[in-house]
């Protein structure tokens, strides 16, 4: 059996030897290079833009601005185009609260400026160096307007969105108790800062036209979604656009949505009749491929004397862009994760002069869990309870928000297994009571939960006369291990060695698969692969019976195909998506346990170790799955201790849109991380009993660290990131 084994990535050798080609690695004859010019104003209009010096730069072929892009590139705003792009994401949730729907943003479409960093020109040249030199010479003069980028600056209009990310954004159920039922309470504000995705591979699109249409070599999490957007923009049938993205150097949500550069590259290549690569710089990634916005959250809890929640209130205030619709739905876990008599979960959104935000690994759950899990820890200390015991007492027997039973919920076992492996103390630990030498020691924990979605997907198998199988689907592997687990699934169902299986991904000419994100790819693709395997086995059985009906005959596959006059045998399988049982709620659960050490003499805070126990159904490959969880925990460490995007308070411009000024964890920051999977199949979810693991490692991690810091120092930190300045 290959499933359940810690098999190395089948694409690993290609990646570590540099043979895996990413979007910006493509080189074609007469290829051109395009770079964008960003606005220095945060709001207003472009009064004048001077491209003469840029156009005269040796090697520069063309410069496009709002003055010529419409005519030269046929680059215009259309409702259909904008409805497909990232700007439209979530607009329906805001529509009821916003009668005057904003017009979606498209760069180079008008003189209007909506945020600092907005693209105002694109320079195309024979080389990347010439494009950069030309971009530096573009000059613009603005008619500025007042603008604010952060919550709390200026007068703000708060919108109350409706239904978003599968949940009501305004939920009130029950009433807050009075008298003896209100034994203890917590009411506090928590904030998280704006965060940037910063995948290792910046986004890029290389567009190449042929007689039948255009091929885009793109860094995207969804080839079919990108194809639909680009085809609509170009006025072509989707069959005339091919999107190729076999390798993606990280996405985290920033490549999950559709961005203008993908179509813009195709427009420029069509106009100039040459291949064009439009590559985002690291600074572009901060303004042209999304981010996680800052959040302000108020969490209020009340409980009875036994620690059972009688009221949970979670009110979030978050910004979005002037033209977009995505916002952080911070209250998602508060709807389901704890039993409470009264529930009040609300979201308020305001428009700011910022780039459009987008999903970022655990959108909603990640910042929301920091506030919720920190408040639970505060409540435990108010009650004199072990924080782990408080969570046991508020364990959700069922999904109260949806009024459904869980398909599977082993959260209590996660608590037990994680606590045992960590060595969690029996009973509450007083702050500042643990010390070793100069270091204060703190223990903290938090729960995590994440939905388990699935969408329909199709997988094609091609069996040749050698007995080798090629697996094809348009899904992308953004570093999660999809190449490997598909090979494992097919290996088991067909009884083939892994070396006899080739997996081909990330091509829109392959069968439909959902965009990678929201931890749904495994549950969507593996059932499709199984159905394809069953269909292939049926075809083989029919050929075998026809070729030699004698009982027990076992002709080699190659001989069967040769006798039938076939070069290959093709089978296809399509998964069903979510289970049809609407009386069940499908989630994954877990718990993080963290030790921190604080040396107050030298001002050092470090995470010393992490243990995470997770209930994610059956684990297809424990090696790649644990890698995903560790990566998520490292994300949580960055959120807790380092990451914060800063705006210039006067100009509303990002001042740390680069990796030099935006710190993220490196090897020296990362402690031993033990990942424990319960590995209990959720057979009511799919045949494999497997749920996605891509994002559940992030929610709760920052809270567990903050809770451990409180245990070590006695300081309750409610505003991330945690710095030694807050502790000393």
pLDDT at position 101: 81
Which class does domain 454-574 fall in?
Answer: alpha beta
pLDDT at position 179: 67
Of residues 194 and 86, more confidently modeled: 194
pLDDT at position 183: 85
pLDDT at position 646: 95
Other Cβ atoms closer than 10 A to 608: 14
pLDDT at position 96: 81
DSSP letter, residue 499: G
Provide the token pair at 428: 């509450």
Tens digits of residue pLDDT in 139-174: 999 999 999 999 988 789 999 999 999 999 999 999
SS3 readout for 504-520: ECCECCCCCCCCCCCCC
Provide the token pair at 232: 């609509």
The residues annotated as belonging to the active site are: 695
**H-assigned helices in 454-519:** 482-494
Which 3 state secondary structure label does DSSP give 533? helix
Work out the angle between the directed axes of helices 365-383 and 622-641 (0-180°, nearest 10): 70
Identify the sign of the CA torsion 390, 392, 393, 395. positive
Please give the mean pLDDT across all residues of the chain.
96
Instruction: Pick one of 3.30.230.10, 3.30.1370.100, 3.40.50.720, 3.30.365.10 as the CATH number of 295-453+582-727.
Output: 3.30.365.10
Of residues 563 and 85, more confidently modeled: 563
Q: How far apart (Å, rounded) are the C-alpha atoms in residues 357 and 325?
A: 8
Q: Report the percentage of the chain scoring pLDDT > 90.
A: 91
Query: Residue 549 contacts by C-beta under 8 Å, 6 or more apart in sequence?
Result: none
Average pLDDT over residues 56-76: 97
Q: Where in the chain is the domain with CATH 3.30.365.10?
A: 295-453+582-727, 454-574
SS3 readout for 208-246: EEECCEEEEEECCCCHHHHHHHHHHHHCCCHHHEEEECC
Cα angle, residue 155 at apex, residues 149 and 157 outer, rounded to 5°: 90
Spell out a b/e string for 121-132, using b for 16 or more CB atoms within 10 Å of the CB, else e. bbbbbbebebbe
Query: Residue 30 contacts by C-beta under 8 Å, 6 or more apart in sequence?
Result: 274, 275
Which 3 state secondary structure label does DSSP give 667? helix
Spell out a b/e string for 194-227, using b for 16 or more CB atoms within 10 Å of the CB, else e. bbbbbbebbbbbbbbbeeebbbbbbbbbbbbbbb
Among 723, 727, 724, 721, smallest CA distance to 195 is for: 721
Asked whether residue 249 carries a pLDDT value surpassing 70, the answer given is yes
Tens digits of residue pLDDT in 412-434: 999 999 999 999 999 999 999 99
Asked whether residue 40 carries a pLDDT value surpassing 80, the answer given is yes
Residue where the block lists tokens 């994100």: 517
Instruction: Say if residues 573 and 471 touch (Cβ distance below 8 Å).
Output: no
**Surface-to-core class of residue 180, CB atoms within 10 Å of its CB (0-12 exposed, 13-18 middle, 19+ buried):** exposed
Average pLDDT over residues 299-323: 96
Asked whether residue 437 carries a pLDDT value surpassing 70, the answer given is yes
Residue where the block lists tokens 């994002």: 695
**Surface-to-core class of residue 157, CB atoms within 10 Å of its CB (0-12 exposed, 13-18 middle, 19+ buried):** exposed
Other Cβ atoms closer than 10 A to 77: 13
Tens digits of residue pLDDT in 586-619: 999 999 999 999 999 999 999 999 999 999 999 9
Identify the sign of the CA torsion 354, 643, 630, 407. negative
pLDDT at position 164: 95
Asked whether residue 68 carries a pLDDT value surpassing 70, the answer given is yes
**H-assigned helices in 17-127:** 52-55, 69-73, 79-84, 91-95
Asked whether residue 180 carries a pLDDT value surpassing 80, the answer given is no
Instruction: Say if residues 307 and 314 touch (Cβ distance below 8 Å).
Output: no
- Side-chain-side CA neighbours of 635 within 13 Å: the count stands at 28
Spell out a b/e string for 654-665, using b for 16 or more CB atoms within 10 Å of the CB, else e. bebbeeeebebb
Q: Report the percentage of the chain scoring pLDDT > 70.
A: 99
Residue where the block lists tokens 């659960």: 589
Asked whether residue 137 carries a pLDDT value surpassing 70, the answer given is yes
Asked whether residue 178 carries a pLDDT value surpassing 80, the answer given is no
Asked whether residue 553 carries a pLDDT value surpassing 70, the answer given is no
Average pLDDT over residues 709-720: 98
Provide the token pair at 5: 């084994």
Instruction: Say if residues 282 and 513 touch (Cβ distance below 8 Å).
Output: no
| Residue 323 vs residues 235, 351, 453: alpha-carbon distances, Å | 24, 8, 29
pLDDT at position 496: 96
pLDDT at position 552: 59
Computed on alpha carbons and rounded to an integer, the radius of gyration of the chain in Å comes to 27
| Phi, psi at 335, each rounded to 5° | -70, -25
Of residues 76 and 278, more confidently modeled: 278
Tens digits of residue pLDDT in 13-38: 999 999 999 999 999 999 999 999 99
Asked whether residue 550 carries a pLDDT value surpassing 70, the answer given is no
Tens digits of residue pLDDT in 471-511: 999 999 999 999 999 999 999 999 999 999 999 999 999 99
pLDDT at position 551: 63
pLDDT interval class at 700 (50, 70, 90): very high
């Amino acid at each position: 059996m290959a499933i359940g084994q810690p098999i190395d990535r089948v694409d690993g050798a290609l990646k570590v030897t540099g043979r895996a080609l990413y979007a910006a690695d493509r080189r074609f004859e007469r290829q051109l290079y395009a770079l964008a010019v960003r606005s220095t104003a945060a709001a207003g209009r472009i009064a004048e833009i001077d491209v003469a010096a840029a156009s005269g730069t040796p090697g520069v072929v063309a410069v496009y601005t709002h003055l010529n892009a419409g005519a030269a590139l046929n680059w215009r705003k259309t409702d259909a185009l904008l409805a497909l792009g990232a700007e439209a994401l979530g607009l329906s949730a805001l529509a009821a609260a916003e009668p005057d729907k904003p017009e979606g943003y498209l760069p180079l479409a008008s003189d209007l400026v909506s945020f600092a960093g907005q693209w105002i020109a694109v320079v195309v040249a024979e080389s990347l160096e010439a494009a950069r030199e030309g971009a530096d010479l573009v000059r613009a003069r603005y008619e500025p307007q007042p603008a604010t980028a952060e919550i709390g600056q200026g007068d703000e209009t708060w919108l109350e969105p409706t239904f978003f990310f599968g949940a009501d954004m305004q939920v009130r159920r029950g009433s807050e108790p009075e008298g003896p039922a209100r034994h203890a309470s917590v009411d506090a504000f928590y904030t998280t800062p704006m965060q940037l995705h910063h995948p290792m591979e910046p986004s890029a699109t290389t567009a190449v036209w042929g007689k039948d249409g255009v091929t885009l070599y793109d860094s995207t999490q969804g080839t079919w979604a990108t194809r639909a957007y680009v085809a609509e923009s170009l006025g072509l049938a989707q069959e005339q656009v091919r999107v190729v993205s076999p390798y993606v150097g990280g996405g985290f949500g920033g490549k999950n949505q559709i961005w203008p550069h993908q179509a813009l590259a195709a427009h420029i290549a069509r106009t100039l009749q040459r291949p064009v690569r439009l590559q985002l710089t690291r600074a572009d990634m901060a303004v042209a491929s999304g981010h996680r916005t800052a959040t302000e959250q108020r969490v209020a809890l009340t409980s009875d004397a036994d620690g059972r929640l009688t009221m949970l209130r979670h009110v979030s205030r978050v910004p979005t862009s002037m033209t977009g619709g995505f916002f952080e739905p911070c209250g998602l876990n508060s709807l389901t994760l704890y039993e409470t008599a009264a529930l009040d979960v609300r979201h308020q959104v305001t428009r700011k002069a910022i780039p459009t935000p987008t999903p970022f690994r655990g959108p909603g759950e990640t910042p929301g869990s920091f506030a919720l899990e920190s408040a639970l820890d505060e409540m435990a200390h108010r009650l004199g309870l072990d924080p782990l015991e408080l969570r046991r007492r508020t364990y959700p027997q069922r999904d109260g928000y949806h009024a459904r039973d869980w398909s599977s919920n082993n959260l209590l076992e996660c608590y037990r297994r994680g606590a045992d492996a960590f060595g969690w103390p029996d009973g509450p630990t007083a702050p500042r009571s643990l010390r070793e030498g100069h270091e204060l020691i703190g223990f903290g924990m938090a729960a995590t939960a994440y939905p388990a979605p699935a969408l329909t997907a199709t997988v094609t198998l091609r069996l040749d006369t050698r007995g080798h199988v090629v697996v094809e689907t348009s899904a992308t592997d953004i570093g999660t291990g999809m190449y490997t687990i598909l090979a494992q699934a097919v290996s088991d169902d067909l009884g083939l060695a892994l070396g006899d299986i080739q997996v081909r991904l990330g091509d829109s000419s392959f069968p439909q698969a959902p965009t990678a994100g929201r931890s749904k790819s495994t549950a969507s693709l593996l059932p499709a692969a199984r159905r394809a395997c069953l269909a292939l086995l049926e075809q083989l059985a029919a050929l075998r019976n026809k070729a030699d009906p004698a009982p027990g005959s076992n002709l080699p596959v190659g001989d069967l195909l040769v006798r039938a006059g076939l070069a290959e045998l093709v089978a296809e399988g399509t998964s069903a998506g979510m289970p049809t049982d609407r009386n069940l709620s499908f989630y994954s659960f877990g718990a993080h346990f963290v030790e921190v050490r604080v040396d107050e003499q030298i001002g050092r805070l470090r995470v010393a170790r992490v243990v995470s126990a997770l209930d994610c159904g059956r684990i297809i490959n424990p090696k790649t799955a644990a890698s995903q969880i560790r990566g998520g925990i490292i994300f949580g460490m960055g959120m807790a201790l380092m990451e914060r995007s800063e705006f210039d308070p006067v100009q509303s411009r990002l001042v740390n849109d680069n990796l030099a000024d935006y710190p993220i964890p490196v090897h020296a920051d990362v402690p031993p991380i033990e990942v424990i999977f319960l590995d209990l199949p959720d057979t009511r979810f799919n045949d494999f009993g497997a749920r996605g693991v891509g994002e559940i490692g992030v929610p709760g991690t920052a809270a567990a660290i903050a809770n451990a810091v409180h245990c070590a120092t006695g300081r309750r930190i409610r505003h991330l990131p945690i710095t030694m300045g807050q502790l000393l």
